[in-house]
Copies of this chain bind each other. A is one copy, B any other.
Amino acid sequence: MKINVVSKILEANEKIARENKELFDKTGTYVLNLMSAPGAGKTSLLEKTITELNGALRIGVVEGDIQGTYDAEKINSLGVPVVQINTGGACHLDANMINEAINDLNLNEIDLLIIENVGNLVCPAEFNVGEHMKVMLLSITEGHDKPLKYPLMFQESSALLINKIDLKPYVDADTERIKQDSMSLNPSLKVFEISCKTGEGIKDWTGWLYGRIQENR
């Protein structure tokens, strides 16, 4: 019974996700769904990515949060269009929320739309929103056991960004094990080690992302 309800919700979500995707393809907007646990550094990554690519691409952002506009204000100060979704308790974004949010954006003028999902390693991976690519961020401080404990997000993502590697000397997490376990779940996963604090690895990530967007054109 409970499973029926869930599968109907996911089915309805898929339908709207496909409609979103068609619209994105029509306007030539490449869409990235950015997911992580709370506090892994999604907004800092957004800031770095926007600063790096803003000359080459016209970027827009959808911010997903339970409540508040804290992150959207940070992004807005970078001068890119941003829409805030407040889920009011829901622990993930769904296709319908995105469908409504993009009404407030001029997609014809956006080459890259980054959707910052709610901080959660579980449900965001279950709900497609019409994106071209899912990317996940894992803070090295979260430990090396995460791929095997939260496998779906690692399986669904095209890239894994291991963030806060400036803290490597001070934590026990084994980066090689994170890579190994992630790639055993998803052999085509592209892995980057980055630090949004020091900037390390950011250009590798944005260069790769830029290449993916060009390939899609």
Contacts and interface: CB of A to CB of B under 8 A. Distances in A.
Contact of A39 (B142, B148, B167): B142
B167 A67 contact: no
A143 B39 contact: yes
A73 to B, nearest CB: 11
Interface stretch (A77-85, A117-125, A199-207, A208-216): A117-125
Interface residues of A, number: 39
Copies of this protein in the complex = 2
Contacts of A89: 122, 126, 152
A150 B38 contact: yes
A37 B138 CA distance: 12
Interface in A106-139: 118-123, 126, 139
Interface of A: 2, 5, 9, 37-39, 65-68, 70, 89-91, 118-123, 126, 139, 141-143, 145-146, 148-152, 164, 166-167, 170-172, 197
